[in-house]
Amino acid sequence: MGMEHRETSTILVVEDDPTLLSTLAFNLSRQGYQVLTAASGSAAIEVVSSRGNDLDLILLDVMLPGPNGFQILRHVRRTLDVPVLMLSARGEEQDKIDGLELGADDYVAKPFALRELLARVRAAVRRRAAPALRPPSVLFRGDLRIEPDRRRAEVRGCELPLRPKEFGLLVTMAMEPGKVFERQELLDLVWGTGIIVDERTIDVHISWLRGKLQAAGMSQDCIRTVYGSGYRFVLSPEPDRDERLPVAP
C-alpha cells in the first residue's frame, strides 16, 4: 500500500549515533525508500546543498557535532520546502517549540517506537507526493493579499514573515472565511493526515500568526477562537455572538 510513492522517495537521515543511523537507514530501505545519511551537521549541509532537490523528507537529529539540528533546519528553510522531522533525546518542550517555529513539520522525542516513526515518515512522504487542491493564484481578504503559489502574504504591500506552517494555516482558513476549523482538521490539512502532533501545536502557531498579522496592521481578531471547537477566519472584527458555545458538527 502506497509503494508507488515510496519507490522513488528519497530520505536524508541526519544522526550522529552510528547504531541508530544504521538502524534507521536499514528499516527505511526495507520500506522501499532511497536513503542518504549524514553523521554530522557539516555532512548534512553538504547533502542538502548537493541533493536538496531530490529529497522528499529529512529526519534530523537536534544534537550533532558541528552545526546542530536547529542550524541545519535554518539552512534548509532558506532554500527548500522539504518536510523535516526533528529527533531529540532531550525531549524538552522548548526544543519542540523552537523546532516548530523554525519550520519543522514534526518532532519526535527519543526513545521512540520504530513503528510510530515509520508511520510518521509514510504520512509525510504521502502528503508531499499527493497532488494538492489548487487554490486561486491570488487571494484578497480585505487588506490581506495572499499568493499561494509563491508562498507570499502581504498586508498593504508589506510582506508578512510567515513560517511554512503559519502560511499554511492562513491560506487554509482564508480560503473559506467564516468556516469553523477544528484543531484536528487543521492538523490534517496543514501537517497532513497520519502525522502525530499535539493539538496544542495549532494554538501556538495561531498565536504566532495573529501576532504577525497584528504587527502588520490587521486586527488579530481576524482569526477568531471558537471555544470548544477551533478557529475561523473573518473578514472584519465581529461581535462575540456564539463563539463561546460549542459548534455542532
103 SS3 class: coil
Specify whether the CB–CB gap between 230 and 181 falls below 8 A: yes
CA distance 7 to 44: 23
Residue 73 is which amino acid?
Answer: L
Three cell numbers written together for 71:
542550524
Give the DSSP letter of residue 67: S
- To the nearest whole number, what is the mean pLDDT of the chain? 82
What confidence tens digit (pLDDT) does each residue in 79-111 have? 888 889 988 876 566 666 777 777 788 888 888
Three cell numbers written together for 131:
497532488
21 SS3 class: helix
What confidence tens digit (pLDDT) does each residue in 205-233 have? 999 999 999 999 888 688 999 988 899 99
Three cell numbers written together for 72:
541545519
What confidence tens digit (pLDDT) does each residue in 7-50 have? 478 999 999 999 999 999 999 999 889 999 999 999 999 999 99
What confidence tens digit (pLDDT) does each residue in 140-193 have? 888 899 988 788 899 988 899 999 899 999 999 998 888 899 988 888 888 876
- Residue 93's pLDDT is 65
